[in-house]
Amino acid sequence: MREKCGSGSLASGPTGPPAGPGKSVRLLLSLRGVTVDLGATRVLENVDLAVSAGEIVTLIGPNGAGKTTLLRVALGLLLPGRGEVRLEPRLRIGYMPQRLAVDPALPLTVSRFLSMAAPDTGDRVTRALARVGAARTLGTPIQLISGGELQRVLLARALLRDPELLVLDEPSQGVDLAGQEELFALITGIRNECGCGVLMVSHDLHLVMSSTDRVVCLNRTVCCTGAPLAVSSDPAYLRLFPTSLPGFALYAHRHDHDDACASGDRRGG
């Protein structure tokens, strides 16, 4: 049984394809044929995406590929012009934005910031900060903490919702290389403990090699999808990132499965 992050029932919601004999996958999020136009610009076209409980799915792609727009659609903040978006009923979602702008004149400690996001949390704020390795920031003005500490505080904020699905928009933004490795290991640990699904955006596949189960390479449409090593050698990925080395990884990653990333497949999920 999954160690729960909150009070949600494991039995609720739709199920996905069988994971093995007598088992099924709990499907948290499903997008089918999503197309989005912003003004005269087509930002997303015919995109499929799915995230199941216990799975880490990473969106990668160049600037302007539509990654953040796709997250907004998944969160219900933006309606697609075409396509279908399904979330498990009463799904608890923890969202970590790409960046946070705080007025430097605003007297706001980390503790107060987190309490505003989730009132009446009591010692849960302290425990959430401890879980992400940022306990010492509790009484510090949020404007004075480092970039790496801010990302951990934002992750703690997302965890206060006891999420069944974590949605992380470039969680390593402003974090040095060593800090990125620690942060991705932390995200993996949270997934392992809670059994939650994770949908995150990254600008670099090689940075998340050890921390993701499935990669979706996006450039307005899905160019390829599969296990990280398969995607890193896929011609569609290499066309988008021509300086990448096929199969190269900063951190070795071993999967129980090795999904093939079909070259030229325009849909994924």
> Residues 141, 144, 148, 150: what is their CA dihedral angle, to the nearest 10 degrees?
30
Position 189, amino acid: G
Contact 24, 18 (CB under 8 A): yes
- Please state whether 22 falls in left (phi above 0), alpha (psi between -120 and 50) or beta: left
Residues 153 and 176 occupy one common structural domain: no
Domain limits at 253?
Answer: 24-92+163-269
**Does residue 248 lie in a domain region?**
yes
The whole-model pTM stands at 0.81
Residue 204 domain flag? yes
Judge whether 207 lies within some domain.
yes
Residue 229, in any domain of the structure = yes
Q: Indicate whether 186 and 262 sit together in one domain.
A: yes
Does residue 233 share a domain with residue 111? Answer: no
pLDDT in tens, 34-85: 999 999 999 999 999 999 999 999 999 998 999 999 999 999 999 999 999 9
Cβ(263)–Cβ(230) below 8 Å: no
For residues 199 and 60, the answer to whether their CB atoms sit within 8 Å is no
Dist CA 50 CA 217 (whole Å): 13
Strand pairing category for 221-226 and 93-96: unpaired
Same domain (yes/no): 86, 130: no
Section 81-101 average pLDDT = 92
Give the CA distances from residue 149 to residues 103, 155, 174, in Å, rounded to whole numbers and listed in that order.
18, 10, 10
**In terms of pLDDT, which residue wins out, 175 or 215?**
215
Domain count, the chain: 2
